[in-house]
Structure 1
Amino acid sequence: MSNLREIQSRINSVRDTMKITNAMYMIASSKLRKAKKSLKNTEPYFYTLQDAIAKVIKQIPEDISLIYFNGKPKAADEKKKGYIVITGDKGLAGAYNHNVMKIAEGELKKEGDPVFFLIGQVGRNYFETKGIPYDTAFQYTVQNPTIRRARVISGRILQMYREQKLDEVYIIYTRMIHSMECRAEMKKLLPLEKADFQEKEESGGLNRQTNYLPTPYDVFKNIIPNYITGFLYGTLVQAYSSEQNSRMLAMESATRNARDMLKSLSVTYNRVRQAAITQEITEVISGAKLLKRRKS
């Protein structure tokens, strides 16, 4: 890279790229703040639903079968498992999409015939490229997670679960632990576990004073779909926050590397320029000496 024009072109290219990565960092930072606010506003509703379910379950007699809790006993290889895979709509987010697909690939290798529900264009492109069949791909959801979109997805899942087309449902998504770490993980969505709700029950006589009409079981059947929708919406917002956080960190790293590269290229440019100037001066002096010899 001894040509000054080549080095200057490289410097301009890196500088333009740095402007793009810096802009993407600012956009991801803004979207992350918005996602965190949405998650914070949703949490009180979600925890209230958990508490309400715990109270309703306590009022339902033990001999009544709860479809959303009691799965039919089957061998592990006979269970029909469904997986909701949440990826992004685009890349440039570090290992965000790769980590999610790695878990999905691990489930594909297990025995059985899993059913996949895809949320995100990256996951959809991956499954289509590999020729892996899937049930439904929900589009326009990842970049704008809303309760309405979560209700559409949960409606499809609950319908298949009630029709016994699915025995278990899992969500593969990315949870943001803190601003510097996001972790891809898999959580069980259905069937629910009573222990998860009993832990959140409040002590006291409040439950005995609550009347559920027409019956606690009817209230239970209507409140569970809302809980599933809320749970799914929470994972969508968590995944969206993780994607923006991962992209923000990736763009920050890219911008930092671009600055380092610019410094290195500037040093190289100045050295080559100085060498070119020195060579020109040397040639002028040599020419002057030659002319002087000829005259003498």
Structure 2
Amino acid sequence: MSDTLASLRRKINGAGDLKSVVRSMKALAASSIGQYEKSVLALADYDRTVELGLAVCLRNREAAAEQAGRPGGGAKAVDAIVFGSDQGLVGQFNDVLADYVAKALNPLPGEKNVWAVGERVQSRLEDGGLPTVGLFAVPTSVNAIAPLVGQIVVESEAHHGEGEIVQLYLFHNRPNSGATYEPVSQRLLPLDESWAIRLSNLPWPTKNRPEVIDGGERTLQALVREYLFVSLFKACAESLAAENASRLAAMQRAEKNIDDLVGNLNQTFRRLRQTSIDEELFDVLSGYESLSKRKTH
């Protein structure tokens, strides 16, 4: 069925309204990216403070080696926390991450315990042969990240017995330049000797290094918990920034497609209008010629 001028005009107006929505979503995604990136930058000073505190506790390499285990030595289970997305218009965000997690975890020995942040990435993981033991809701703002991290820490600790050695991995998408992202991973536990030695060798900002007078072991445990908190918070914030970067890229593609569609519709509208004008002019000329012939006769 051929388009009429009225139907084409409705399509052009509808495309214009849709473009306004796309522009609003672009602005919201760009604003959200900045919000989450600022939260990661704001956490950098706190992260540095925690590392300096750990450096004081682990300044002796022998003490560090005694406190920390070997890489994966004695670990019976592999825990993984995967930060995904539950929002639409993010393309292959969850699929790329799920494939990356499967390739990283499948070769590792031991029982796999996977916690998913987001129902969509959970379904992708289970389709890839990685059943999950827990599910968390994706936070919708910076203020909701800290409570989520607390829930993850509590549930992961409750899943294992006291003193049990586990390997803990983080998986998430990290934003790149140009509204793109890439899947990355980080092993948080066990705290191996190289990790402890790196921290113990961090330079102290002043000449006078502090001493832990009492409760050195408790101080170390508290700093390790803060180290886990900072790592989880950063991974979650980067994942949310990457999600909005993916949405921004999708909106940019949608805006370009809408512009192309509007251009084609306008071209068709002008051509059809010109054809209609030509037909009307032809009818007028035909009528004039017919009337002229009648008057002559």
> TM-score, normalized by length of structure 1?
0.84
- Farther-moved stretch of structure 1 (161-170 vs 179-188): 161-170
The SS at the match of 1:214 is coil
Q: Does 1:13 align with 2:53?
A: no
Distance in 2, matches of 1:222 and 1:204, equals: 20
Q: Does 1:93 align with 2:94?
A: no
Unaligned runs of 5+ in 1: none
Distance in 1, matches of 2:195 and 2:61, equals: 17
Report the equivalent of 1:32: 33
Out of 131, 134, 137, the position equivalent to 1:136 is 134
* Structure 2 letter corresponding to 1:86: F
What is the identity percentage for the equivalent residue pairs of Structure 1 and Structure 2?
20
Q: How many pairs were matched up?
A: 292
Please say if residues 68 and 190 of structure 1, whose CA atoms lie closer than 8 Å, have aligned partners that are also in contact.
no
- Farther-moved stretch of structure 1 (147-156 vs 24-33): 147-156
Question: Offset of 1:45 from its aligned partner?
Answer: 0.5
* Structure 1 letter corresponding to 2:121: G
Distance in 2, matches of 1:285 and 1:62, equals: 103
Residues 219-274 of structure 1, C-alpha deviations (whole Å, 9 max, x = no match):
21222111101110011111111112222232123223312321221111111111
Distance in 2, matches of 1:47 and 1:23, equals: 37
Q: Does 1:82 align with 2:79?
A: yes
Change (3 A) 1:97 1:67: same
Report the equivalent of 1:43: 44
- Spell out the pairing of 1:70-219 with structure 2 (5 A cutoff): 71-73=72-74, 79-107=76-104, 110=107, 113-126=111-124, 133-141=131-139, 143-144=141-142, 145-160=144-159, 163=162, 167-200=166-199, 201-203=201-203, 209-219=209-219
Distance in 1, matches of 2:11 and 2:271, equals: 15
Distance in 2, matches of 1:63 and 1:26, equals: 48
Please say if residues 39 and 234 of structure 1, whose CA atoms lie closer than 8 Å, have aligned partners that are also in contact.
yes
Distance in 2, matches of 1:101 and 1:149, equals: 21
Residues 84-116 of structure 1, C-alpha deviations (whole Å, 9 max, x = no match):
111112121233333212213435755764221
Distance in 2, matches of 1:207 and 1:162, equals: 42
Question: Offset of 1:130 from its aligned partner?
Answer: 7.7
The SS at the match of 2:168 is strand
